[in-house]
Amino acid sequence: VEFEMKKLGKSILLLILVLVFYVGNFIIIKSLNWMENDEEHIFFVNNSIHNSKMKKKFITIDDVREAIMTLNSEKLDHKQLKKFHLFRRQISEEVKSKDVSMLDFSRVPDTWFNGVHVVPNPVDSLGNALDYLASATITKAHATPRIGTQLKILLQLDGNVKALFKPKWYSTNEVIQGEIYSGKDRHTSEILGFYIGLLLGLRRSPLVAGRIVDLSKEILPVASTSLKNTFLKNGTNICFYGVCYYCHRKDLVCGDGSQMEGAVVRWLPASVKIGKFRSPWARTYSKKKKAKWETNPNFCDYYKSNSTYSKWLPDIVDAAIFDFILGNGDRHDMEFAMDYPDAKILLLDNGKGLRNSTKQQIQMFQRNQFSKLLMEISSRDSIQPIATQEQFNAFDRRIAIVIKVINLCHNILIV
């Protein structure tokens, strides 16, 4: 727990920043290393009080740690428990496969998208749409343009559906050292990110399914020349390095023989045009340079008063909570569907694993219910184990932290 707290320190700081930003308070940061020093605090100043009567409230490192220790000892809220069981029945029914033709689901998910969600709530045939990704015949395989930093293959599936295949780089229990955004993408993070979005009521992630492909039978026969030229053999294993910004012949990903595990991520409908803007809380990805949000105590004020950004603030809060729970420290751009007046920020590219409605959704999870339900609905995926027990436990700890911080912010407002 202590290791995780230190590693996710700045993620928790970012979460607190956007939460307090949304409820209308100023933030003054006394120390950016607050997670490593119990003497340092985050200061919250209620801006509705005149300076002569200014009150200061504190969220300390001990407050955050208490979230981990106290949530499961609290008395069960039976109203929330009833709500949880109703939700559990709904979500479990949604991910079930129905007895219909898989080909029906080559196009059905395109009709779901409306700029606000990728998957409607509820939807009857989600399980079949996921099964399609895991089993549809691959008709074409291309190298992606050299614009991304991560290795992936662009697939065309039976029915002319486009998808990305993200290969397995790490075993499930391998710990990636370094910064929270270090290393390659985890294919299982993409899969879990989709299911976490369902549980949080944030149905804005593309459909994802785990799949084991046969590189020699399913990929190479339909591969483009540019992709095929990156394939090599390492002993009895088929390997490739693909085309991307960091892809190199010396950095191969290899299958087990010709079997390659990975995640298939369905593209959004072809008609959707994606707009993007740089996240105000993006990292600099440099230890020598700090971002403005890390150094400017008045950073929040500008974005609260800027009409271009202010309409996105609730979505930024949602994205911060989603990323914190998933452990994704690489959300540098905020992406949305253009030509949709009510569009919300989409949760794309989740490989580096409030509005009031989100708060209510989160608070129904008590005593490790989040991880248990996440484990239950993700068990339908063909890739297992999808995470270790320690990783599932971490999701519950992060839910506890989110609930604690939300309640602390709420208490500050009503004092």
Q: Which residue has the tokens 């990110």?
A: 193
In angstroms, rounded to a whole number, what is the distance separating the alpha carbons of residues 274 and 339?
9
- 349 marked as binding residue: yes
User: Of 131, 315, 318, 330, which is the active-site residue?
Assistant: 330
CA distances from 92 to 58, 109, 129, 269, 320 (A): 40, 19, 15, 26, 26
Q: Is 150 annotated as a binding residue?
A: yes
Is 214 labeled as catalytic in the residue annotation? no
CA atoms within 13 A on the CB side of 358: 22
Closest CA to 345 of 326, 328, 364, 322: 322
Q: With contact defined as beta carbons under 8 Å apart, do 228 and 240 qualify?
A: no
Is residue 185 marked as binding? yes
Q: Residue 38, annotated ligand binder?
A: no
**93 assigned binding-site residue:** no
Q: CA–CA distance from 113 to each of 39, 340, 346 (Å)?
A: 48, 11, 11
Query: Minimal CA–CA distance to 22: which of 358, 327, 291?
Result: 358
Q: Which residues are catalytic?
A: 330
Residues making up the binding site for Mn(2+): 185, 349
Residues making up the binding site: 150, 166, 185, 335, 349
Residues making up the binding site for ATP: 150, 166, 335, 349
